[in-house]
Structure 1
Amino acid sequence: MQVIVRDNNVDQALRALKKKLQREGVYREMKLRKHYEKPSEKRAREHAAAISRARKADRKRAERDR
């Protein structure tokens, strides 16, 4: 990953880097890897996330069809 520092403005470059890391999901992955997660817990978490995504898609579809 690369961020260009323009006019010696390190604060702006740091903000851009943080935004890129957030978009790539690096923070989320670091949080998940902080502690060991059992395979059964991982499956349960991913299953719950899939259900949540499906419900959100259904809500959006229902709102669009109104």
Structure 2
Amino acid sequence: MATIRVNENETLDSALRRFKRRCSRDGIIGDLRKKEQYEKPSVRRKKKAEAARKRSRM
């Protein structure tokens, strides 16, 4: 869980910006999107292989 401390002279906007930056750096949003729906292991392997194929083409 990403936590931040809001400084005394800090605005809410800048604190929110820091929180969003930390969440994106930690990969929290990406994990949540991946886990929104269950994905069978076979489907996960197929997607992983397809992504590797796309990377190797370039």
- The reply to whether TM is greater than 0.5 is yes
Q: How much is the aligned-residue C-alpha RMSD, in angstroms?
A: 1.8
Match of 1:19 in 2: 21
Residue in structure 2 matching 1:38, options 30, 35, 40: 40
Q: What is the CA deviation profile of residues 1-55 of structure 1, one whole-angstrom value per residue up to 9, with x for unaligned ones?
A: 3323121412111111111111221111111111110111111122223334444
Distance 2:25 2:54 in 1: 20
Structure 2 unmatched ranges of 5 or more: none
How many residues were matched structurally? 56
Residue identity over aligned pairs, in percent, reads 32
Give the letter aligned to residue 49 of structure 2: H
TM-score (normalised: structure 1): 0.65
Distance 1:54 1:20, change over 3 A: farther
Q: Which has the higher contact order (CA 8 A, sep 6+)?
A: 2
Structure 1 unmatched ranges of 5 or more: 57-66
Instruction: Determine if the alignment matches structure 1 residue 51 to structure 2 residue 53.
Output: yes
